[in-house]
């Protein structure tokens, strides 16, 4: 018989050593969001300049949020993303709170400075001077042909009606009522004899529906042709004349004195024209 060899069983191959674990992916957005959030938080404590901190914090929150979503796929950056969102949010909140407090403090300081200045001005007499002027304005009056204000004193010395064509009304087409007066500069302001026009108006109450303010006539006394625009010195007194065109020769003329804006009336004096 032929020799037959019985095959021997062979040993199973031994497994080799385990390989290195798979490398995790990187997450740059998470890192960037964390860094920007941290920088924003550090800069959020400086008033006004922390506006940049708000910007950095907001960008950090956005980047960290995107990084957090990416961390599920990359397997990395979850912790940095969460930290970046928290830091960025805190940066925005702290910066807003600091700016609001800073602006409030500045406003309060300005108000205190204004109050102190006003108090100081009053202590130095500025407020007192203003009160004196108000009292002087309240004391202005027009009685018996005498107008007194803080700046001027006007005393009507004579008046008469001048017919058309008569001396003092040679060129008019209506009769006029003329007033002669003395004017004194009380305050030293720049004042001339024509100040009358800014303080006194003439009316005839012959219209049942509306006020009838009379038109100014020509100068009734040629002696004042060269002096009616001259500046009066403080304490000085000069003469002048003024005329108004009459609408009729029956209705009395009311002279009404008021301030230059017509807001405060000082008084009314009535003159007959007959």
pTM for the whole structure? 0.52
Q: Tens digit of pLDDT for each residue in 59-74?
A: 978 887 787 777 777 6
Under the banding of pLDDT at 50, 70 and 90, the label for residue 15 is low
Count of helix runs (H) and strand runs (E) in the chain? 5, 8
Distance CA 240, CA 158 (A): 11
The whole-number average pLDDT for the span 154-158 is 97
At residue 200, does pLDDT exceed 80?
A: yes
Integer Cα distance of 147 and 201 in angstroms: 12
**SS3 state of residue 169:** coil
How many residues are listed for the chain in this entry?
274
Nearest to 201 by CA among 267, 257, 241, 272: 257
Predicted confidence (pLDDT) per residue in 86-122, tens digit: 887 887 888 888 888 888 888 888 888 887 776 665 5
Distance from C-alpha of 65 to C-alpha of 81, rounded to nearest angstrom: 6
| CB neighbour burial string for 24-38, b if at least 16 within 10 angstroms, e if fewer | eeebebbbbbbbbbb
Which has the closest alpha carbon to 192: 149, 240, 225, 148? 240
The answer to whether 38 and 61 are in contact (CB under 8 A) is no
Q: What mean pLDDT value characterizes the chain?
A: 83
Sheet containing 146-148: order of strands: 141-143, 146-148, 152-162, 176-185, 237-245
10 Å Cβ neighbour count for 80?
Answer: 22
262, pLDDT greater than 60: yes
Which of 20-29, 40-49, 129-138, 153-162 is most confident? 153-162
Closest CA to 152 of 214, 73, 240, 85: 240
Contact between 50 and 99 under an 8 Å Cβ cutoff? The reply is: yes
- Residue 144: the pLDDT is 95
For 138, what's the count of Cα atoms within 13 Å in the CB-facing half-sphere?
6
Q: Which domains does the chain have, with CATH numbers?
A: 28-114 (no CATH), 136-271 (2.60.40.1240)
CA 251-146-174 angle, 5° bins: 30
């Amino acid at each position: 018989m032929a020799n037959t060899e019985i095959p021997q069983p062979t040993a199973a191959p031994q497994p080799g050593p385990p390989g290195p674990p798979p490398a995790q992916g990187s997450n740059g957005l998470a890192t960037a969001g964390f860094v920007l959030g941290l920088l924003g938080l550090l800069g959020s404590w400086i008033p006004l300049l922390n506006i940049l901190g708000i910007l950095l914090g907001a960008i950090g929150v956005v980047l960290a949020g995107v990084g957090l979503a990416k961390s599920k796929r990359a397997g990395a950056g979850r912790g940095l993303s969460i930290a970046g969102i928290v830091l960025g949010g805190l940066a925005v909140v702290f910066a807003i709170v600091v700016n609001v407090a800073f602006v409030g403090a500045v406003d309060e300081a300005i108000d205190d400075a204004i109050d102190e200045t006003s108090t100081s001005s009053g202590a130095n007499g500025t407020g007192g001077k203003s009160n004196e002027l108000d009292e002087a304005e309240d004391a202005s009056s027009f009685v018996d042909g005498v107008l007194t204000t803080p700046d001027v004193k006007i005393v009507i010395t004579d008046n008469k009606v001048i017919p058309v064509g008569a001396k003092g009304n040679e060129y008019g087409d209506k009769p006029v009522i003329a007033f002669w007066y003395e004017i004194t500069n009380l305050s030293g302001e720049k004042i001339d004899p024509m100040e009358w026009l800014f303080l006194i108006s003439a009316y005839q109450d012959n219209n049942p529906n509306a006020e009838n303010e009379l038109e100014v006539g020509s100068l009734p006394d040629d002696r004042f042709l060269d002096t009616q625009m001259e500046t009066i010195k403080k304490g000085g007194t000069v003469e002048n004349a003024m005329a108004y065109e009459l609408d009729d020769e029956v209705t009395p003329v009311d002279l009404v004195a008021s301030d230059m804006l017509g807001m405060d009336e000082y008084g009314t004096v009535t003159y007959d024209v007959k």
